[in-house]
Structure 1
Amino acid sequence: MKNWFVVFLAVSLVVAMTVPAAAEPNLSIKGEYVVQGFHAEGVFSQNQGLAETLDEDELDYVYQRFRLAPTFKASDNVSAHLRFDFAEGMWGHDQDFDTNRAGDTSTNNDDSEIQVDRAYVDVDTTWLRVRAGLQFFPVGQTQVFRDNEPGLQFDIKTGTPFGIRLGWIKAWEGIGSGTDSTRLFSLRDETPETKDQDRYLAVLGWKSDTFAANIFGVKQSDSGHGATPNGTGFDYNNQEEPHVFGLRVRMDLGALAVHGEVAQFGGELTYEETDTTVDYTGTQVNVNGMFNISDALKVGLDLFYSSAAGDNEKKITSMGNPFASYDIRNGGSMGWDTETYGRANGFLFSSVIPPGPLPGDVFDPYLQGTGSKGAGVGAMYTMFEKLSLIGQFHYMVADDDDLTGVTGEFEKGYNLLAAAVYPIAPKTTLHATYQRVDASFMDDIDPDPSNVYSLWMRVLF
């Protein structure tokens, strides 16, 4: 199968390069290569809530990702889209550089060779746009919901500044277990282990030259494919049915741009075996202002608040199954996350157990349910029209640092991020990043600050 794919890609490239210049090509290919080197100190100890930082809590590794995204044009308003990641992982570990590229000693696991991220068709007509297949589903500013799953999206064009987008996502199609002959009947959805999980979204938006706003809602329907109570796997007797509603607003006033979002989570997590229910909860707000002082200097301000969980509540700050995140901790709200870590997964491994430093972002810093409130400042300065310097600092305190049944709650802390970006060749940039997180916890838990250093290169083509 891999050989056929290589032949297909080679033929496609030849066809694309031999199309006459006067004709519009039917195939275009974009992509990027990212290689990142990391050194991390103290991240594991901090994320695990250890009283003291472990002496051996240091990591050094190299991560890479090679991405291709072909687009096939069938007509002026119909196109097909693919995206592949090749050989993504840590050097000498995830990619298994051996004869068979086996994921383990017993099976030939090709996951580290080719990963299919996108496979969908886009049909764009006068009044309706339909995208069907494995695709990206953004909602709001993609802070509270972003998904990359198979499904359908419908954009209804009204001919006015108002627009409507609807979506259905097949998050899980229950296929049961057993032999191939028994699995043939598993699509009947008659037993807990063959039931499905779906997500539904609706977005109502309004847009002008200087102002845009949208109201959104996302609901997950789960007929039996829930997580285990400790979150380590699936328990088909449990039902996860969270939802989120929110408002996103953006204003562009020339040199000043302001955007923000308010969202409210709800729903229930039901454990069927114990006949108990936990309520999903979470109210979060963030506002960002960006001011272009000059062509070379930009400054930004973040304000944010996220409520804590109460008794018999499970706090969540996002939904979906994304490949990346819109993290304030990494400069997402200021538009710098693609420069500080490239929306690649390398930095996640800095804590041994993902997802990197400050795992819950600023809204629930250590995913304990404490919530958070705070502010941040940032600046980007471009020297000589080449070297860009980025710096940001966020300080936060818990909304509630005395939760029932929790030991070592997050109390207060800060996130410092600094980066330098330099173009070393056309479409090739070198990035140096430093991130420091210092957090204090209740119950005399106060580990040393964590530090993550990264030097990485990105090539766009």
Structure 2
Amino acid sequence: MNLRRMLLIVSVVLMGLGVVYSQIKIADNLTLKLSGTFNTWFQYQQDFWFGRGTYNDAYVVQMLRFRPEISYKDNVKIITRFDMAQGWWGVDNEPPTGKIVSVRSASLMYNGKDVHYLFHVDQAYVWFKIPALKTSFSVGRMQWLVGNRILIDNNYDGVQADISIGNDVLKLGWAKVNEGVDALSDADSIASDFRGSWDARDADLYLANYSTSLKFASTKLDIYAFYYIDRSIRDGNAYIPNLLDYKKVRFSPQITNLAGFGISGSSKLSKFSFMYEVNYLRGKDKINNTSYGPTLDVDINNGDLDGGNIYLKGEYAMSDKIKPGFVIGVGSGDGDGPWGGKGNVTKLRTAGFFFITEIWEDSIMPDEEGITPQGLGAPNVRGYRELENTIIGQVNLTYNPLPNLSLFGSFSYIRANKPIYAWDANGPKPNLSAKDLGWEIDFKGDYKLHDGKVILTLRGGYFKPGKAAGYLINGTDEYKKAAWELKGEVWFNF
């Protein structure tokens, strides 16, 4: 019996016990606690290329996720999170074609992500507390994020320390983002892999986050900073974006060094509640590109990177049933165009769980923790993700006609911060640019059953593209059809 099969059998037994008992004693001072979710959804997407060719995708997806915790007394825990039975209905048992020579992956874009398969571990780490130091440590593969998931939202291997300072917490962390050329080596060079990479040095992330609370307006604040360095660039490839197995938006800079600073928080004042964040990024692209690459992947710039984001979300509790709200978001763009000057950067790496609209920037990705491309930020469309080069304003309304029923509707108007240029196979066209990205109408309805453990959701959106959206996605404004989406979900949270 191989290790993978044995691990699977043990996991299933533990899960079965956990589902029945939720929390059980498995030995002296040793307990098992289990939580998780089952999610299945159908999705129908129409005209995400605005009429350039046929885009008529309909599919059903499911995922079963478990989060077991094994605790020893109060100061030690083993925590893991894994997905089972994850995949599209009808193809979830197909073999991983990424193992076949010359074929990168089952979708020709994603490689080795286990998105179709039986068992996939997202997180696995040990947490332990040293009371004398007022500090807890986490060691292993865990979640790394800052703020509202605009800049960093990913799972990495590493170490985190949470230091209690009165009622506040200082988090310090180091993550191994990439072991160069998929090699367990810190050598300067090895034999080239199939993508031509040979610089085997690593990429690392250093992070600090200070969490505090203020009495004024029930305010909670996070003040954070991070520094990322990719050393494996002498072969002309940076881990971001060259070595990711999905396509980002065209003309993306290669990130070799990046420092980020920001503050995020939430406040509640009478019937008003707010979430907000402001951040600034500065870094380097040390790879001197002379071309954009065959699929226009990379930016040509002078080596300097900077950018930032502003985000504000507000809601007013007019009554128990009616809550109007708004969202304002601004992300930096490339003021010099995509062929020189500074490069623009608005994030390190995210999994796409930052949400404002259904279609424009909702982009839960199969390369991270999602299962299928969603939204215009997906790699087959290659739109923006999060607030990249975006100014967005939204008004919305939440209505709860019944205790178990929640209805939501919104209207969003979207423009580019800096001009977006038309492009063709040779690169950008400096004489054709626009800022009008378009507008979008969204809806969402949630109905809760069985004490809220089961949630039935119907959601969707209608996006009318402007000229700039045509340039971004297709390189031309010739195609103007509206993109729309309908999605139904069933959740069981335990």
The answer, yes or no, to whether TM exceeds 0.5 is: yes
Task: Choose from 409, 424, 432 the match for 1:391.
Answer: 409
Pairwise CA distance, 1:228: 6.2
Task: Name the counterpart of 1:360.
Answer: 384
Distance 1:330 1:244, change over 3 A: farther
1:254-278 alpha-carbon deviations (Å, 9 max, x no partner): 4211221111121011216869743
Task: Name the counterpart of 2:480.
Answer: 447
Task: Choose from 334, 348, 360 the match for 1:319.
Answer: 348
Task: Name the counterpart of 2:89.
Answer: 91
Pairwise CA distance, 1:4: 0.7
Which consecutive residues of structure 2, in runs of 5 or more, have no partner in the other structure? 107-111, 191-197, 246-253, 291-299, 423-427, 469-475
Pairwise CA distance, 1:40: 0.7
Task: Name the counterpart of 2:154.
Answer: 147
Distance 1:231 1:135, change over 3 A: closer
Pairwise CA distance, 1:3: 2.6
Task: Name the counterpart of 2:36.
Answer: 31
Task: Choose from 190, 202, 206 the match for 2:208.
Answer: 202
1:349-399 alpha-carbon deviations (Å, 9 max, x no partner): 566x825889424623xxxxxx23231111221222112111122212222
Task: Name the counterpart of 1:6.
Answer: 8
Q: Give the letter for the 1:222 counterpart.
A: D
Give runs of aligned pairs for residues 419-458 of structure 1, distance below 5 A: 419-426=444-451, 427-442=453-468, 444-458=477-491
Flag the structure with more relative contact order, 1 or 2, with Cα contacts below 8 A and sequence separation at least 6: 1
Q: Give the letter for the 2:324 counterpart.
A: V
Mapped pair 1:214 → 2:213:
no
Q: Give the letter for the 2:159 counterpart.
A: L
Task: Name the counterpart of 1:306.
Answer: 331
Give runs of aligned pairs for residues 22-421 of structure 1, distance below 5 A: 26-43=31-48, 45-46=49-50, 53-54=51-52, 56-93=54-91, 95-97=92-94, 101-103=95-97, 106=100, 111=114, 112-126=117-131, 127-159=134-166, 161-174=167-180, 186-189=185-188, 193-209=199-215, 210-225=218-233, 227=237, 231-233=241-243, 240-271=256-287, 277-311=302-336, 312-320=341-349, 322-330=350-358, 345=370, 348-349=373-374, 354=378, 359-361=383-385, 363-364=387-388, 371-401=389-419, 405-406=428-429, 409-421=434-446
Q: Give the letter for the 1:61 counterpart.
A: Y
SS of residue matched to 2:354: coil
1:394-441 alpha-carbon deviations (Å, 9 max, x no partner): 212222226594556552312322011112445112111111211212
Normalised by the length of structure 2, the TM-score is 0.76
Query: What is the alpha-carbon distance in structure 2 between the residues aligned to residue 230 and residue 153 of structure 1?
Result: 23
Distance 1:299 1:3, change over 3 A: same
1:40-99 alpha-carbon deviations (Å, 9 max, x no partner): 1111x14xxxxxx13522111111111111011112121110111113222223x235xx
Normalised by the length of structure 1, the TM-score is 0.80
Which consecutive residues of structure 1, in runs of 5 or more, have no partner in the other structure? 47-52, 178-182, 365-370
Give the total of aligned pairs.
Answer: 424
Query: What is the alpha-carbon distance in structure 2 between the residues aligned to residue 278 and residue 323 of structure 1?
Result: 26
SS of residue matched to 2:5: helix
Distance 1:437 1:361, change over 3 A: farther
Q: Give the letter for the 2:396 counterpart.
A: G
Q: Are the counterparts in 2 of residues 439 and 446 from structure 1 also a CA contact under 8 Å?
A: no
Query: What is the alpha-carbon distance in structure 1 between the residues aligned to residue 32 and residue 330 of structure 2?
Result: 46
SS of residue matched to 1:304: strand
Query: What is the alpha-carbon distance in structure 2 between the residues aligned to residue 34 and residue 145 of structure 1?
Result: 24
How large is the RMSD of aligned CA atoms in angstroms? Answer: 3.6
Q: Give the letter for the 2:459 counterpart.
A: T
Q: Are the counterparts in 2 of residues 357 and 450 from structure 1 also a CA contact under 8 Å?
A: no
Q: Give identity over the alignment, percent.
A: 20
